[in-house]
Amino acid sequence: MFSIGQAMTLRPGGYAEYKRYHNEIWPDLAAIMSDNEVSIAIFLLGNRLVLHAVAPTKAHWDRSNNNATLEKWQAVMTRFLETDQSGKSIVDTLEPAFVFGMFKG
């Protein structure tokens, strides 16, 4: 099983729209994730979002992340998330501090 943690920072006042988009996730994006057996949970901590995702393999995860639909989604997310100088959302990959059970690889 492949597991990844990421963190992003919300722009001030961006949470409500961020949440609305995720509550109304685009059907084609949901289908891509489902087809690749990707499961995602995103947690709110202050102005930070912490994502935990799992997939059967890294290849499944990579396939779910390499498509035009996700690129369009990520462009929309830049309205709600802090971005770098090139305009892309800043996504920090988290280093695992502890793993147990099904996450232990």
Give the pLDDT of the chain (105 residues) as one tens digit per residue.
999 999 999 999 999 999 999 999 999 999 999 999 999 999 999 999 999 999 999 999 999 999 999 999 999 999 999 999 999 999 999 999 999 998 876
Residue 103 DSSP code: G
pLDDT score of 105: 67
Please compute, for residue 17, the number of CA atoms within 13 A of its CA located in the half-sphere on the CB side: 11
- The C-alpha atoms of residue 82 and residue 89 are separated, in whole angstroms, by 6
For the record, the structure tokens of 17 come out as 């729209």
For the record, the structure tokens of 24 come out as 């109304």
- The C-alpha atoms of residue 102 and residue 1 are separated, in whole angstroms, by 8
Predicted TM-score (pTM) of the model is 0.91
pLDDT score of 104: 79
